Structure 1
Amino acid sequence: MTSSSAPVPASPGGPQHHRPLRRLTARGRGEAHRVASPLELFFDLCFVVAIAQAGVELVHAVAEGHAGEGIVNYAMLFFAIWWAWMNFTWFASAYDNDDMLYRAVTLIQIFGVLVLAAGVSSAFRDHDYLAVWLGYVIMRLAMAAQWLRAARSAEGAERTTDLRYAGGVLLCQVGWLGLVLLPEPARPWVFLVMVIAELCVPLYAEKDHTTSWHPHHIAERYGLFTIIVLGETVAASTVAVKSAVDEHNALGELLPIAAGGLLIVFSAWWIYFAVPIHGHLRSNRQAFLWGYGHYLIFASAAAIGAGLEVAVEQTVGKTHISTLSASAAVTLPTALYLLTVWALHSRHFKAGIVQQAVLPVAALLVICCTFLGDWAVLAAGLVSALTVVTGAALTARTGTHEHGEKASVPAA
């Protein structure tokens, strides 16, 4: 993650834009009209392939009655996917010069993501992490090369920061070898140690100099990835419903799940984008907490789709789990999503205890919906939709009292 002290080079839209190779220098944190590039959007879409594979395996694990093991495996693999995405996202916010070499190295990272995605099934079912590790090697070597290239054009504290990032990435990649070489009982401990090590790399690298990440650009990148993950949730649940209808002709039983699932996803989108968050990202400390916390937002959003698939399969008799377990597969990630969005976004824009309580209370009510049997998913969807309506009404009321007119931005 990245700082305003960096020099402001010619931006990719400037007069040097068409040169095939340019110095990889820091972009300005105050740069106007900074938006996500087509390469970044393509990068995100390819990452969703890996997320989809993790979701499929989570569905299989929960449907077969191995929810505990499945959740642990999902959390581990999702961290690997999310962390690689985040490393690139913050680097690109500071150093994206969009020249040919930058694009080529980014495409190499995308290739690494696809290798990782190909190894998700083996990691989930057999605890064989070789393909996942190889995919990570490709991604992380490319990422380290980007940092070294940036260091070549930097001086002083900025150069030191870039070199620390490159060294930290490479050392951590060696540490991940433990998932391949050590006995299976030791691997969860290796994972925990390596997660701590990975999270400490940015803290150490930026202790003397912060990179020039762009608040609006970062907020947009995270928002776009949230949309893509929610879109994958819609796609996965739609395929599950279609398959169930085709094979079992159970449209009547599936309609409450389909309707509830759509209400949950629509509400999840609304709640996330109810307030602009970039103005809150004013310091590295705030940005670190916000950026790291999105692990739970992304993981829970993707898990909602997996839960909807489980609910569909349980309804048509393709699983051996109870209705309560199938309902929990939807309601628990939904509640986690609501709580995490409140903690990272909404609470910074609420006035008074009533507004602050909307999302936490909604999360509690969604959990209570777990016990409503076949109507649990629909009830959770209705609670989510009511949360949006309540938040918008409270925001409008506050706007009326403070400004004499309704607030223009609905919130949850």
Structure 2
Amino acid sequence: MSSESAAAPHPHHAGPHHVDPRPVRRMVPRSRDEPHRVATPLELFFDLCFVVAVGQAGRELAHDLAEGHWGDGLTGYLFAFFAIWWAWMNFTWFASAYDCDDVPYRVTTLVQIAGVLILAAGVPRLFADQDILLSVVGYVVMRLAMVTQWLRAAAAEEGPARGVALRYAAGITLCQIGWGVVLALPHDVRAVVIPIGILAELSVPVVAELRMQTTWHPHHIAERYGLFTLIVLGETVAAATVAVQSAVDEHEGLVRLLPVAAGGLLICFSAWWIYFARPVHDHLRSNRQAFLWGYGHYLVFGSAAAIGSGLEVAVESAVHEAHVSATAATATVTVPTALYLITVWALHARHAKTGAAQVLLPAGSVAVLACTAAGESGVLAAGLVTAATVAVGVLLHARER
């Protein structure tokens, strides 16, 4: 980064009252020490539109799991969720470093939103027929819009910072060309090539920032990830609510659904509590820590959304509409719940814990998995375990204080 760019003050603070951008600004880096840095209304709108695609992937996963198509469902879900998460994450870190909130920036971000809606429209085809055309087109739209952002940053930079921006633009462009090639390949070859494409996408930030790092803001990044976690958990609650409502309307089996509904609510409430039990921005002190934390949230977001899919399957199982056993239906809830607990612990909860509190979440994840054996009552048991995990954590924290 040139000394001129580093010293240049950012033209605005992205506070809640900023609504009148100038037509065009220089896209210079924002300071990592900028005070009062919060998520903008555009970023919140971006998240809400992205969760549409999350909801689509979750519904299709629930359908495949309920039908017993575990392999196809999980493969489609992992692929679709990667595309959603990776595009979201790249925009989030770029915005933390370069958000200038001018007209070109806003328009380009809206193009990215259009891309995720195209991707969402293609998710049912992806699950039903392994037709990836529409999903890939939506993904490429999002990523090429990101290229224009990096080229704008390169135009305003000099020296090493300009090189970082150009490497990002070149790397993303090459990856999108690769996805175009994937579309032309036979279906049996795609299964081998797609993982290579995913690895190439993941490597772009590592290569681009090998010699110099962008100036992301720790408080802003922590807030952005927290907000997306909230939205995904909200989508989980909504999906479970719709499933319960539909089951009651069709079968009038409210009594059979109460344990699933109660257990699901306890899991969602506990998931929120555990994630936000401690602030995490102080842990994000270096690029290495931030990269591991940011990449690891693929599992946090993916498992949080999958809990909602599992609750839909558990509801269908309770009214005898799922084509899987009660134990398998319970596993669709307990497995993602256990994954969520252990991942949140590994990424940031463990850094603020000592003594017995250090093993609380790992022990809770094992106990949740054990609830799978309870069959029809397993979801309620898992909810009680997660609630007890939160209660013990609160008591241990009070004792420490």
Normalising by structure 1, report the TM-score: 0.94
Equivalence for 1:397: 399
Aligned residue type for 1:72: T
Determine whether 1:298 maps to 2:301: yes
Determine whether 1:121 maps to 2:120: no
Residue 178 (structure 1) shift: 4.1
Of the candidates 130, 138, 141, which is equivalent to residue 138 of structure 1? 141
Distance 2:91 2:8 in 1: 20
Please say if residues 13 and 36 of structure 2, whose CA atoms lie closer than 8 Å, have aligned partners that are also in contact.
no
Equivalence for 1:208: 211
Distance 1:8 1:357 in 2: 46
Please say if residues 32 and 216 of structure 2, whose CA atoms lie closer than 8 Å, have aligned partners that are also in contact.
yes
Please say if residues 65 and 313 of structure 2, whose CA atoms lie closer than 8 Å, have aligned partners that are also in contact.
yes
Distance 2:225 2:139 in 1: 21
Determine whether 1:334 maps to 2:327: no
Distance 2:7 2:152 in 1: 16
Kindly provide the CA deviation profile for residues 179-214 of structure 1, in whole angstroms up to 9, marking residues without a partner as x.
Answer: 411111222221211111111110110111111100
Kindly provide the CA deviation profile for residues 37-70 of structure 1, in whole angstroms up to 9, marking residues without a partner as x.
Answer: 0000000000001011101110111011111221
Please say if residues 338 and 363 of structure 1, whose CA atoms lie closer than 8 Å, have aligned partners that are also in contact.
yes
Equivalence for 2:156: 153
Question: Structure 1 residues 330, 178: CA separation in 2 closer, same or farther (over 3 Å shift)?
Answer: farther
Distance 1:104 1:16 in 2: 14
Equivalence for 2:314: 311
* Corresponding residue pairs, total: 394
Residue 19 (structure 1) shift: 2.1
Distance 1:13 1:350 in 2: 34
Question: Structure 1 residues 243, 206: CA separation in 2 closer, same or farther (over 3 Å shift)?
Answer: same
Equivalence for 2:174: 171
SS at match of 2:47: helix
Equivalence for 2:267: 264
Distance 1:233 1:185 in 2: 33
Determine whether 1:64 maps to 2:105: no
Determine whether 1:74 maps to 2:77: yes
Of the candidates 71, 79, 92, which is equivalent to residue 95 of structure 2? 92
Please provide the CA RMSD for this pair.
1.4
Distance 1:387 1:301 in 2: 17
SS at match of 1:372: helix
Equivalence for 1:360: 362
Residue 177 (structure 1) shift: 2.4
SS at match of 2:192: helix
Moved more, 10-19 or 304-313: 10-19
SS at match of 2:171: helix
Please say if residues 23 and 102 of structure 2, whose CA atoms lie closer than 8 Å, have aligned partners that are also in contact.
yes
Residue 18 (structure 1) shift: 4.2
Question: Structure 1 residues 8, 397: CA separation in 2 closer, same or farther (over 3 Å shift)?
Answer: farther
Distance 1:132 1:190 in 2: 16
Distance 1:109 1:7 in 2: 30
Residue 17 (structure 1) shift: 6.5
Please say if residues 11 and 17 of structure 1, whose CA atoms lie closer than 8 Å, have aligned partners that are also in contact.
no
Residue 16 (structure 1) shift: 12
Normalising by structure 2, report the TM-score: 0.96
Distance 2:383 2:27 in 1: 47
Equivalence for 1:192: 195
Please say if residues 13 and 37 of structure 2, whose CA atoms lie closer than 8 Å, have aligned partners that are also in contact.
no
Identity %: 63
Distance 1:77 1:200 in 2: 19
Give the alignment of 1:366-381 within 5 angstroms.
Answer: 366-381=368-383
Equivalence for 1:226: 229
Kindly provide the CA deviation profile for residues 115-173 of structure 1, in whole angstroms up to 9, marking residues without a partner as x.
Answer: 00000111111111110111112111110000000100001000000000011111011
SS at match of 1:52: helix
Equivalence for 2:385: 383
Distance 1:185 1:18 in 2: 49
Distance 1:7 1:185 in 2: 53
Q: Which runs of 5+ in 2 are unaligned?
A: none
Equivalence for 2:10: 10
Equivalence for 1:30: 33
SS at match of 1:36: coil
Residue 13 (structure 1) shift: 3.4
Aligned residue type for 2:268: V
Please say if residues 364 and 389 of structure 2, whose CA atoms lie closer than 8 Å, have aligned partners that are also in contact.
yes
Please say if residues 147 and 169 of structure 2, whose CA atoms lie closer than 8 Å, have aligned partners that are also in contact.
yes
Kindly provide the CA deviation profile for residues 365-408 of structure 1, in whole angstroms up to 9, marking residues without a partner as x.
Answer: 00000111211000000000000011111111111xxxxxxxxx
Residue 100 (structure 1) shift: 0.9
Task: Write out the 4+ residue segments of structure 1 that deviate beyond 6 Å after TM superposition.
Answer: 14-17
SS at match of 1:113: helix
Aligned residue type for 2:145: A
Please say if residues 21 and 103 of structure 2, whose CA atoms lie closer than 8 Å, have aligned partners that are also in contact.
no
